[in-house]
Amino acid sequence: MDTVPSPAGPSPPITPAPADNPPGPSGFDALFRDRVVPLLAAMESERVATLAARRRWWQAGVGIGVAVAAVIGLWMADVILGLVFGLFAGMAVASGGEGRLLRLRQRVKAGIMPAILAPHGAAYTPDLDHGPSLEAFQALWLVDSHPDDQSFQDMVTGIHAGCAYLLYEAHLVRIVRTRNGTRRRTLFRGLLIRLVFPRAFAGTTLVLRDGGVFNAARDAFTRLDRVGLGDTVFERQFEVLGSDQVEARYLVDPVFMERLMEVETRFAANDIRCAFQDGALHIAFSRQNAFEPDDLQRPLTDPANARRIHDEMVAILDLIDHLVGRFASRAR
């Protein structure tokens, strides 16, 4: 069986002890009360202070921006130029508050993630210096294979129902030359998920959004044929390519697609696509800052942020359970 590679990044994984009975959605309340609230309650005063400081930074930014706009506008006799300078000056000052808010988000995430993952026996690594198995995603045309710059963070690894899994956030960038210098263009920013099963697949099966990435993948994988699934609703949204028609239809059944779409829904993701090859299922979708708390205007002890992350993990584990069950029934 394949193993999940470990990163060599500067941040060691936070590895809780495995649990025999990971909580489902119904067990979230006890998980939140016993594991998450004690961690976040201690940071509630920091949240209030950070939001107050942020307001002061923005108020100072507005004041300085207006003053700069007035001085430049009168001195240069150019209102437009004054507004531009005022805008930049105001935003530069206000960014001080945004930076403090970002640091708080990261601290909250660092507290929530290990607590929620502990019952699943999963490990959390905040920072990565490379993307594990990134080449496999690129070879399958799930993400661009020629970025000029890349960064990775928030990796989760574990084993569930005999299936090794990893997921992490990747940001792939191309540097484009322009007349005025260079600019950065995002090629992909989202989550990469790899599920490794204790059995190999006979061929390669791709599930891609209709158009876009599919067109490039179709040209690259000339050995793959289009697979008809007999589900018109699904086929209006996706294209399925496979080297083994029988296996592709077996793997991409209606329940699998329901589970896959549930992952997309739970993560509020866009453009989900996946590929089965060599005993692994690779999934990619666009989603920025997947594990960041959404709303710090609410008290940290509000369960909404933690519940979202918990439900995202449950959706992935449900997908694993379905596939492992399918493989077990086929082996009998």
Q: Is 217 in contact with 210 (CB distance < 8 Å)?
A: no
| Residue-level pLDDT at 169 | 94
**Rg of the Cα atoms in the chain:** 23
Q: Please report, for residues 94, 177, 278, 321, 326, the alpha-carbon distance to residue 251 in angstroms, rounded to integers and kept in the order given.
A: 51, 43, 14, 13, 8
User: How far apart are the C-alpha atoms of 161 and 224, rounded to whole Å?
Assistant: 30
pLDDT in tens, the chain (332 residues): 343 333 334 344 444 434 444 554 457 888 888 888 888 887 787 877 777 777 776 777 677 767 777 777 677 666 676 676 667 766 776 666 667 777 877 888 888 888 888 888 899 998 899 999 999 999 988 998 888 999 999 999 999 988 999 999 999 999 888 888 788 899 999 999 999 998 888 899 999 876 655 555 555 555 788 887 776 667 777 888 898 888 988 888 888 888 888 888 888 888 899 999 999 999 999 987 778 776 777 787 888 888 888 888 888 888 888 888 877 666 54
| Residue-level pLDDT at 13 | 47
Strands 238-242, 181-196: pairing kind: unpaired
Angle among Cα 248, 164, 309 to the nearest 5 degrees reads 95
The domain segmentation of the chain, as residue ranges, is: 123-292
| Residue-level pLDDT at 6 | 36
Any idea what DSSP says for residue 34?
Answer: I
| Residue-level pLDDT at 212 | 53
| Residue-level pLDDT at 281 | 94
User: How far apart are the C-alpha atoms of 73 and 287, rounded to whole Å?
Assistant: 41
| Residue-level pLDDT at 204 | 92
User: How far apart are the C-alpha atoms of 149 and 160, rounded to whole Å?
Assistant: 33
Residue 272 identity (one-letter amino acid):
I
**pTM score > 0.75 for this model?**
yes
| Residue-level pLDDT at 21 | 45
Dig out the tokens for 190 from the structure: 């989202």
Angle among Cα 280, 190, 123 to the nearest 5 degrees reads 60
Angle among Cα 109, 114, 120 to the nearest 5 degrees reads 130
| Residue-level pLDDT at 205 | 92
- Count Cβ atoms below 10 Å from residue 37 Cβ, excluding itself: 16
| Residue-level pLDDT at 166 | 94
- Count Cβ atoms below 10 Å from residue 35 Cβ, excluding itself: 18
